[in-house]
Structure 1
Amino acid sequence: MFTQFFNWRIGLAAIAIAIVSGSIFYSNYLAKKIAAEERLKIEQWVEAVKDISDSTVSPTNLSGKILVENNKDIPMIAVNEKDSIFESNNLDSLRIKNEPGYLGKKLKEFKLLHPPVSWTNPVNSLQKNRLYYGESALLKEVRYYPLIQLFIVALFIIITLIAINTRNKSTQNQVWAGMAKETAHQLGTPLSSLQGWVELLKDQPGNEKIAIEMIKDVDRLKLVSDRFGKIGSTPQLEEMNVIEQVETMMAYIKRRSTDKVSFAIDSFGATVILAKINAPLFDWVIENLLKNALDAMEGKGTINVSIKKETAQVLIDVTDTGKGISKQNITRVFKPGFTTKKRGWGLGLSLSKRIIEQYHQGELFVKNSESGKGTTFRVILKK
């Protein structure tokens, strides 16, 4: 699935590059063509002015027509040899009237765009005039067209990638739910059989202790099956005491650890902190976090769970004094299949994050971690 998604991205990027590159080349070609035609119009306009200004030559109808009709869209400013403006055309008349420095600003702008068209005044041969001009609206549109198209293509790619990513996540969620439900279904048959055998053991003298321990294991398997069965469906949330739930799971993990590992809960003086949770799934999350903390300490250290009530949420921090998580792995710890252990599937934290964020509408993240000093995971629940 990842390879397919990666290939999709490469294909879309190639299409985008091809479209934008073609647009840029064609737009540059059009811009140069239009600029050449506009330069020709300006030169023709100057020739018409010279023809009309020359008192020794009778102006032709063609000159007048060029002067009147040849340039209706190219902004221009004419100056003498002292750079004094004596004529302007196709500029904002209101701004010329209301802004004294408007023509001067436009003149500086035009000087940067094109070299001027120069001509000698027919009346006074010593007077040299220059005509500076800008770009027509059409030329500006052609120049900006690739940027607009680039934006449209980028928007199209972003929407497509979001759609593909959403589809992949939906498919992945369906696979997760299907696997979980199938696991719960497969556990059902041996569980029923085990319950029957436990009942037989209870009836035989001398097997009471064995039966009690087997009942605990069967109950544990029933709990695991119940957890898997709830994945993929909408679990019912009930207002429960979070402190009590954490204490139960801590007691369970404590029985399976060594004496060199100490456990502590800090609820800041509170005995009851209520939050809407699904008990089996929430317990699964706490169990996963405590197991990870226990594994990270390699047999000795401290695990501390702090539970704090705030105005609209409950904060649960699980802190260990283990080996910590490297910076490059912090963003990967919740990805399915990622693990630094020699054994395990790397699914515990991924499932925990899904349970908290999708089913409880909360948050689960690495609050902080330092190599050799430990890690803190934070769970945020709504009150």
Structure 2
Amino acid sequence: MFKQYIGWKFTLISVAVVIIVTTIWFVNSLTEKIQQEETKKVAIWVEAYRELIHSSADANLNLIGEIVTNNTTIPMILTDDQGRIIDQNNFDSSLFIGKPGYLEEQLASFKKQHPPFILGVDANSNQYIYYGDSLILKQIRYYPYIQLLVVALFIGIVLFALSSTNRATQNQVWVGMAKETAHQLGTPLSSMEAWLEILKEKEESAPLANELAKDVNRLKLISDRFSKIGSVPNLEECNLVVQIDSMVNYIRKRAPQKVTITLQSAEKEVSAMISPPLFDWVVENLLKNALDAMEGKGSITVVIENHPAHITVDVTDTGKGIPKAFHDKIFNPGFSTKKRGWGLGLSLAKRIIQDYHKGRLSVKWSEVNKGTTFRIWLRK
């Protein structure tokens, strides 16, 4: 499925590149032909103007005059031998009235675009005609780039809309699954609590009832976590050191004997606004993933650092590590490197930190066969 997606995406990009290159090549070829035609028109105009200057008084100038007056699109500037501007043609007067130096700037630009035509006035002096591209030629030259920009903007908006719609659909699925899970857990939990009360009435069953009560409370906590997905979380100011320490102790009791779990913090109190049940869920998920990665032996280190504007919690294990190509993909729903599991734990954890706590969850470091560090970043 993933390979098919990559292949489809690469094909789409390749087709788009071919279309863009072909469009630019065709337009450049077309503008070059139009530019050659405009050069011919200027040459004819210069020849007609030269004939008009040197013609006798009784010559028929109707055709020559029509050629000269019909040029209304190609801008031209007439200069003398010293480069002084004598006249101009086909400029919008509103562009240079009140703007000193405008014609000089255009003249400098024309000199870079085309070589001038020499207009001989007499045996001792010449005049030069410089010309630029017509407005139509400029529009044709830049049109494909503007078009491609508009198309790219449109595609970007469409992709953003599709991504937002897809994300909204995923959120609805997540919320629906979480609410339904909490609902399904509610009924057996109520029944188990009733049976616990009956067991507690018998003195010989008290030890068993106490142990069962712990598991029931654990199930109630899980149900409470699921019920909070999709609703506005109630953030409380909590001491992260105490909050994380309780979860570390819980996992430590259930970890293999050859696994050591330590918590490090330079301060005994690091306050942050969190939803305790949801934040515990994230920490628990990271610790359980670390245990799975180590396969029964190694160490897990949780480091809390209090910075001026933010707080970081790093969970580092000495497990098998994560290949670099998977660093971003492990947070996608359904993606898992383990043989069992649905691949939802890290995706849910990231959503809890990112959407509910306005923080970040990412892979800070990982190397195959050496270990991994997950980082939780929280604003103060």
Gaps of 5+ in 1: none
Q: Residue 279 of structure 2 corresponds to which residue in structure 1?
A: 282
Distance 2:162 2:314 in 1: 35
Q: Is the 8 A contact 2:79 2:87 kept in 1?
A: no
Distance 2:2 2:160 in 1: 14
Query: What displacement does 1:218 show?
Result: 0.9
SS in 1 for 2:221: helix
Query: What displacement does 1:376 show?
Result: 1.1
State the AA in 2 paired with 1:229: S
Q: Is the 8 A contact 2:121 2:127 kept in 1?
A: no
Q: Residue 38 of structure 2 corresponds to which residue in structure 1?
A: 38
SS in 1 for 2:314: strand
309, 313, 317: which is aligned to 1:316?
313
86, 92, 101: which is aligned to 1:95?
101
> CA deviation digits over 1:107-163, x for unaligned, max 9?
24213xxxx7789x6977xx9998664311221112111111111111011011101
Distance 1:97 1:261 in 2: 81
109, 113, 129: which is aligned to 2:113?
109
Distance 1:70 1:259 in 2: 97
What TM-score do the two structures reach when normalised by structure 1?
A: 0.82
Pairing of 1:109-258 with structure 2 (within 5 A): 109-111=113-115, 133-258=131-256
Distance 1:139 1:300 in 2: 73
Pairing of 1:265-280 with structure 2 (within 5 A): 265-268=263-266, 270-280=267-277
SS in 1 for 2:331: coil
Change (3 A) 1:280 1:247: same
Distance 1:362 1:374 in 2: 24
Query: What displacement does 1:293 show?
Result: 1.1
Q: Is the 8 A contact 2:107 2:130 kept in 1?
A: no
Change (3 A) 1:51 1:23: same
SS in 2 for 1:235: coil
Gaps of 5+ in 2: none
State the AA in 2 paired with 1:244: V
Do residues 364 (structure 1) and 361 (structure 2) align? yes
Q: Identity, % of aligned pairs?
A: 50
Query: What displacement does 1:338 show?
Result: 1.4
Q: Is the 8 A contact 1:339 1:346 kept in 2?
A: yes
What TM-score do the two structures reach when normalised by structure 2?
A: 0.83
Pairing of 1:287-366 with structure 2 (within 5 A): 287-366=284-363
Change (3 A) 1:26 1:217: same
Change (3 A) 1:337 1:140: same
Query: What displacement does 1:209 show?
Result: 2.3
Change (3 A) 1:158 1:104: closer
**What is the alpha-carbon root mean square deviation over aligned residues?**
3.8
Q: Is the 8 A contact 1:265 1:306 kept in 2?
A: yes
Distance 2:176 2:38 in 1: 68
